[in-house]
Amino acid sequence: MQKKDSSIHIRYLLANELDALWGLTVNTVGYQIVQEGENYPPNNHPTRYLFSAQKGRILEEYQLVYIVEGRGNFVSTDHRQSEVKEGNMFILFPGEWHNYNPNRNTGWTEYWIGFKGRIIDYQLENGFFKKTKPVLNIGIQDEVVQLYKRAIEISQKQNAGFQQMLAGIVNQLLGYAYSLDKHLSFENLEVTNQINKAKILMSENLQAKITPEEIARNINMSYSWFRHLFKQYTGFAPNQYILELKIQKCKELLTNTHLSIKEIAYESGFDNPEYFSRIFKTKEHITPLAYRRLTRGYAVKPQN
């Protein structure tokens, strides 16, 4: 590995009470290149974040650490030691003991950003990120690297409103981390094409009333395994996904056609118009007729 410019550390970023109300504040961002054979952490590591490679540490904030070159190890209270390598991002949680270090034979290049706030607390509470799964596989993504570099640039200037701009970048990074890790996990299972085919079959056969069991057979998968993977991939059980497609089709027809409610129900795969109207109101909190009037710009009387 050739010698490179080794690091930029932006730390002690201030956030006022108004910044905190935004939902996320950032207090550190930077990158560091650890050369092959170099001690870790290097001497220029920020004092506030310095830790012993033998003892580990506990932080008061979240951090997203992204490895873009090299490999090493990571361990935390809720995650047994595992290898991390280029393309991996790991999350450090506040109050959670952790330890990590690059392999002395390879070194590594790392980007990080530290933050806190109710937005990430909410995401953690609702299971989007888990202490038991802190290491995410997102691959080498130039868009992600550019977000870190943009955060460093904003932090160096600290213009008015810089915390809100950094919060936006953190949200993008979290979105990339969640979605790319999820996508790549399905690529590894080689089922992405099967799930996508299932989604197409559902969309194209609303009136034919194709069942999830028939779809599973069509894509050569057992129904139990198909249901499990489909829920993981889309966030919906197969029957729920089909119902959502039907409701979306109804919305389109209510807004863009003059078909009657009864005709729309049949066109969208509902056998019973009364059942359709009841389901629509339950899900959308408005009747189909009121939805039609609303989306066409007519006044809508309040629903009782």
Instruction: Please write the tens of the pLDDT for every residue from 132-162.
Output: 999 999 999 999 999 999 999 999 999 999 9
Distance CA 85, CA 121 (A): 27
Q: Does domain 7-188 have CATH number 2.60.120.280?
A: yes
Written as one string, the DSSP assignment of 63-77 is EEEEEEEEEEEEEET
Share of the chain above pLDDT 90, in %: 76
Q: Residue-wise over 160-198: b if at least 16 C-beta within 10 A, else e?
A: eebbebbbbbbbebbebbeebbeebebeeeebbebbeeb
pLDDT at 50 exceeding the cut of 60: no
Cα–chain-centroid distance for residue 144? 13
Distance CA 287, CA 263 (A): 15
Mean pLDDT of 97-126: 95
The overall average pLDDT reported for the chain is: 89
Beta bridge mates, 235? none
Beta bridge mates, 140? none
Beta bridge mates, 100? 74
Distance CA 208, CA 126 (A): 36
Q: At what angle are helices 223-234 and 162-189 packed, to 10 degrees?
A: 160
Mean pLDDT of 204-231: 91
**How many residues can be counted in the chain?**
304
Asked if 48 contacts 12 with a C-beta cutoff of 8 angstroms, the reply is: yes
Instruction: Please write the tens of the pLDDT for every residue from 178-195.
Output: 999 988 877 666 788 899
| C-alpha distance across the termini of the chain, in Å | 70
pLDDT at position 123: 96
Q: Which residue has the higher pLDDT, 170 or 54?
A: 170
Distance CA 54, CA 237 (A): 45
Q: How many CB atoms lie under 10 A from the CB of residue 223?
A: 15
pLDDT at 5 exceeding the cut of 60: no
Angle, CA 273 vertex, CA 268 and CA 279 arms, to 5°: 80
Domains 7-188 and 192-295 share a fold: no
For the whole prediction, is pTM greater than 0.85? Answer: no
Q: How many CB atoms lie under 10 A from the CB of residue 248?
A: 13
- For residue 116, what is the enclosing H or E element? strand 108-116
pLDDT at 6 exceeding the cut of 70: no
pLDDT at position 44: 57
Q: What is the 3-state secondary structure (H, E, C) of 214-226?
A: HHHHHCCCCHHHH
Provide the token pair at 288. Answer: 């189909």
Residue 273 carries which side chain, given as an amino acid letter? P
**Own/partner pairs, 247-252, CB within 8 angstroms, 24+ separation:** 247/279, 247/280, 247/283, 247/284, 249/206, 250/276, 250/280, 250/288, 251/291, 251/295
Domain 192-295: assigned CATH number? 1.10.10.60
Asked if 26 contacts 155 with a C-beta cutoff of 8 angstroms, the reply is: yes
Instruction: Please write the tens of the pLDDT for every residue from 52-62.
Output: 556 889 999 99
Domain boundaries, the chain: 7-188, 192-295
